[in-house]
Amino acid sequence: MDPRFNGIVWTGTHLLDVRKPDPALIVTKDLARGLSRKYRFGGHTRDDLPPYPVTWHSLFCEAVADQMGLPIWARLQALLHDAPEYVLADMITPVKVLLRDYGPLELGLWNAVARRFQIPAEFHPAIKQIDYLAFEVERLHLVTPDAWEPAPQVPAEWADVGSAWIEFAHRHAAQNGPFSAALFHSRVQALEEARAQEECR
């Protein structure tokens, strides 16, 4: 192996060993910046639309978790569920499953993120459902309609919410990365503060 490429990556603030990630080196600002520069669907959304950063996906998932009345720790999970992608990139699933070492790296980084933010590493049962809902909303609005079969299936009760969210993201497309990064950063801080207040009661 080339000694220059030994699992050590620059995160914007620290050098992080992705094989043995230190939770203390995981910084919210780095997560926000990195995820705002990674795009859903490998960047292959419709040509007439701006790129859609992972931060928008994460923020939507947290908003849905909030609407579902999930506890604060689960809302943090929803917001942070794709956090490993800040250094590993948004690896599309059809390719991810072919890469033998990707899964363990992703899991190791997730465990470090969970320790850093003091949330369970095991996801709340609703998180997978929320992630899939966001995926369906995104492929309905962001990907060429006939690109996949079957057609996207967005539950009726979430259709208007999903449409409003995508419209909101498009309205801020000119400042897409920085704006969504700032929102992501502020949501993490707000949830951490809310949890601290909850624990003090």
Q: For residue 159, how far is the Cα from the chain centroid?
A: 21
What CATH number did the domain enclosing 159 receive?
A: 1.10.3210.10
Decide: pTM greater than 0.85: yes
Residue 49 has pLDDT above 60, yes or no: yes
Check the CA dihedral 47-48-54-58 and report its sign.
Answer: negative
- Quick check: helix, strand or coil at residue 8? strand
Residue 39's DSSP bridge partners are 53
Q: Is residue 3 part of a domain?
A: no
Q: What is the 3-state secondary structure (H, E, C) of 77-133?
A: HHHHCCCCHHHHCCCCHHHHCCCCCHHHHHHHHHHHHHHHCCCCCCCCHHHHHHHHH
pLDDT in tens, 152-193: 889 999 999 999 999 999 988 767 678 999 999 999 999 999
Instruction: Report the number of distinct structural domains present in the chain.
Output: 1
What pLDDT, on a 0 to 100 scale, did the predictor assign at position 102? Answer: 85
Q: Which domain holds residue 191?
A: 8-200
